Amino acid sequence: QKRDARRKKKSESSSLDYRNNPYTDPGVQYNSRTCKIQTLYVSFRDLKWQDWIIAPDGYDAYYCSGECNFPLNAHMNATNHAIVQTLVHLVSPGKVPKPCCAPTKLSPISVLYFLDESNVILKKYKNMVVKSCGCH
């Protein structure tokens, strides 16, 4: 109980710090989702493409979603430019948008599909799977 009370007090204090922070974007709630990787499975089977896509049945594509708010924490993988753009956005919110939450690393997938009745292709598609997200 003591530990919970301490944690609550600390949380309130940090929340207060946040509200008092002159650089915080007033249009954004403190608890809004931050930029991070989200789960997205693309199913070729559900799309009924298995007639010509032999493998895989689908793949974990993922996507990046969330907001790039000040301060840009380290886990957001922000570029220097994104940090500067965030500051400029705070000065002129109507003129300069916030940085975008986008993939920072992508990896390929291989797809095996029929070209016709008897010939097949195994093709590597680059940049198809999101490995990490960040603010750009």
Among 124, 134, 135, 136, binds another protein (CB under 8 A): 124
Q: Which of 37, 82, 98, 130 is in the footprint of another protein by CB under 8 A?
A: 98
Decide: is 136 part of the binding site for another protein (CB under 8 A): no
Strands (E), the chain: 36-38, 41-43, 53-55, 58-60, 63-65, 101-114, 120-135
User: Do the Cβ atoms of 76 and 44 come closer than 8 Å?
Assistant: no
Please list, in sequence order, all residues whose beta carbon lies within 8 angstroms of the beta carbon of residue 127, skipping any fewer than 6 positions away.
Answer: 106, 107, 108
Among 24, 34, 53, 71, binds another protein (CB under 8 A): 53
Examine residue 113 and tell whether it contacts another protein (CB under 8 A): yes
End-to-end CA distance of the chain: 42
40 binds another protein (CB under 8 A): no
**How many CB atoms lie under 10 A from the CB of residue 91?**
9
Q: Does 67 bind another protein (CB under 8 A)?
A: yes
Positions in 17-36 near another protein (CB under 8 A): 27-28
Interface residues with another protein (CB under 8 A)?
27-28, 47, 49, 51-55, 67, 97-98, 100, 107-126, 129
